[in-house]
Structures are given as C-alpha cells and as structure tokens.
Structure 1
C-alpha cells in the first residue's frame, strides 16, 4: 500500500488505501477520509448555500453518498475529484428540492438594493458576479436573481462565473457534454439578463416617483 507523509513528517495512508480499508469494514479508515476532505466538501457547499446549517447537511449527505458508492470508485483515479463530483451533485439535488419558480418583484428588494439596481443600468446581468466582492448590495441582488433560475442554470452560472471552471471541467463534474454546458450557460445568462431588465424597467418609474416626491414644494408649484 502507498503511503505519504503529513506536515509532521508522519507516514499516513493514501486515499486508495483508505478506500480499500473502508470497503473491508474499517470504520476508522473512512473517518480519516472524512477528516481529510470534510472542509473541502463544506467549502463546495458554501458556493451554493449561505446558511452554515445547510452546508453541514450537504457535507453529511455527501459523505453518506460517498460511503454508499465506495465500491464504484475506480482505483488509480483521483479520489478527491471523484468526491468533489459527488459533492457538487449533492448541492444540485438540494437546489432541485428547494426550487422556487416564483418571480420576485421590486417590492422584494431593500432600499439599498433598489439604489444599486438603478445604478446597474446598461450593464450585462452576468457582470453582477464580478462585482460581488465590491458591493454587498450587488451580492445580495445576485443571490436573489440566482434563486429565480432553475437548479441547472444556477449551478452552471456559479461554477463558471464565480468559481472560474471551464466548460470542460463543469461537464466532467456533472457528467454533461461540453455542448450541454455551453447551452446551459447561454440560457442562464439570457435568463438573468431578462430578469434584471424587467426589474430595471420597474425601478425606473419607481425612482422617478421618488425623485418627484423629494422635490421642493415651490418647484412643484412652479411646474403647475
């Protein structure tokens, strides 16, 4: 069996050995895999869900699926890559369960989100992702827009725009062809842009009414 050394220069079993020992009924070996990759799986869940409780649930569900599917792991392949694929699919399954098809409206937005929305005029919708680190309002609005997408579209947008994965890498994770990933990405961008434009159209008259209400009484009297 192959071994490697950890940061303390101690010999530790590699992933393949731990998998084989787990398949033989060694519970401690599987616990070592969980400790080794638990944080990575939790971080994957964090790409899709903000709530810590949800991330914990996804992490537990992922390792349950891993344990049940250990016999399908192909010796010689990257265990970490195989595990991450299961983690992403667990997130996808949860998104499907949580799917909400309702359209949200301007009334669903906070005042600061409305302000940011007005300033986003003439920008492609997918640029929201590039601004998430710069603006909390942009991040909050992007999350709401993402929540309105289908699970497939939301997943591909997050993996491509936020995580920087290529279409080939997304296809490998999801078991999709590159052409399917590209089609999903195109549809997701178009759907986001459509929703953002609709909200911008609603924001404009609302903003105009607010500006009118803020005018001095003397100015409104002169206009009359």
Structure 2
C-alpha cells in the first residue's frame, strides 16, 4: 500500500525552492484540479491551458497559504481553482447559437423540465442527457450564476460547501441559485420560442 502524500512537508520543501517537491505537488494535485476545471470549463478554453493557469496562480500565491487545523490544503486549492475558472468565464464573450433539432430525446426532456415552472423533480433520464442541454443554457448565464447552478444542481454540493468554496454566505448561495434557475428557465423558454418562430 503506497504511503500517504505528506502535503505539508511537500509545501515546506516547495517554499525552500525544491523543484522535485514542486513536481510532486503538481502530480498529487493534477487529477483533482483537472476534474474541477473540466466541470467548470468555459466553452472556448483549453482544459490544459486552464489547469496550467491554476498551477501558476497556486505557486504565485503559495506564500499566502497558512495551514489551519482540520482544513486540508486541497480546500484552499479548490477556492483558487474556482476563482480561476470564474475569471475565465468572465473573459468569455461568445455565446454560440443552438437549435432544438440538435438535441436528443433525453436532452429535450431536460429542456422541457427547465421551462416548466411546476416541475417538481428532474427527468429520470441520465445525467449525460442533461449535460449538453444544461451546459448550453449555462453558457448564457453570468459566471457566478453558472457556477452556483453547476455546484448545487449538477455536482449536488451542499449550500455550506458552496459557501466555503466561493466565500459567499449560505443565504447568498440560496438566493443566487433561485435567481439563476429563474434565468435558466427564461433562457430555455426564449430559445424554444425563437426556434418555433423560425420554423
């Protein structure tokens, strides 16, 4: 069984200028950072470019990190990655168009769900079916709205987790999620209306 990675010891060696320790830290964090970036990636960004940006910021800000009892280093990294992704989302200007006919049946079920105010539960179709339609709509939201919907509804994180990751209060998380869902429904309805008018 491999030995547990000693993050704090590695961090000290990185701060002392040890390049091997820096490589070990990147290797330890890379799969985890990549997963975060992949889940929050702007449409026109390269995953590896954004992952690299995250690591550049991590090493630039490493001196500001202070160990806190019971809070793992990875939590600090997650906040840095979220902020880096938010910055990239803010920089993204283009919003590609899409058409109703481009979607599969499972995807249209999700679009129907998003446009129905009375819908109490999401469709039983797979998360993969929801992925594309939801992300097409999410790309049209502001970066903070997109982030809260992704964390809360797609990743099923608690409001407390989201508050810790973003620095928002739990009340702000709930309010932003409610408003973001309302905007998503409005966007979905507008997209459907435009599609039928163009037909």
TM-score by length of 2: 0.82
Aligned to 1:63: 55
Aligned to 2:189: 197
3-state DSSP of counterpart to 2:127: coil
Aligned to 1:220: none
How big is the shift at 1:161? 0.6
1:158 aligns with 2:163: no
Aligned to 2:160: 168
| Structure 2: segments with no counterpart, 5+ residues | none
Aligned to 1:212: none
3-state DSSP of counterpart to 1:198: helix
More contact order relative to length (CA 8 Å, sep ≥ 6): 2
The answer to whether the 8 Å contact 2:14/2:22 transfers is yes
**C-alpha separation in 2, matches of 1:14 and 1:121:** 46
How big is the shift at 1:93? 0.9
Aligned to 1:184: 176
| Structure 1: segments with no counterpart, 5+ residues | 1-6, 210-224
The answer to whether the 8 Å contact 1:42/1:55 transfers is yes
TM-score by length of 1: 0.73
The answer to whether the 8 Å contact 1:46/1:55 transfers is yes
Q: For 1:45-97, what per-residue CA distance to the aligned partner results, in whole angstroms no more than 9, with x for missing partners?
A: 11022879721111111111111111121124411111111111111111011
How big is the shift at 1:142? 1.8
**C-alpha separation in 2, matches of 1:118 and 1:200:** 10
Q: What count of residue pairs does the alignment treat as equivalent?
A: 193
Q: Which runs of 4+ in 1 moved over 4 A?
A: 50-53, 114-122, 125-132, 203-206
The answer to whether the 8 Å contact 1:117/1:200 transfers is no
Q: For 1:7-59, what per-residue CA distance to the aligned partner results, in whole angstroms no more than 9, with x for missing partners?
A: 34x5x661011111111111211111100010110011110228797211111
Of 87, 92, 98 in structure 2, the residue corresponding to residue 93 of structure 1 is 87
The answer to whether the 8 Å contact 2:99/2:195 transfers is no
Q: Which has the larger radius of gyration?
A: 1
3-state DSSP of counterpart to 2:114: coil
CA 1:31/1:134 → structure 2, altered by over 3 Å: closer, same or farther? closer
1:21 aligns with 2:13: yes
**C-alpha separation in 2, matches of 1:119 and 1:162:** 16
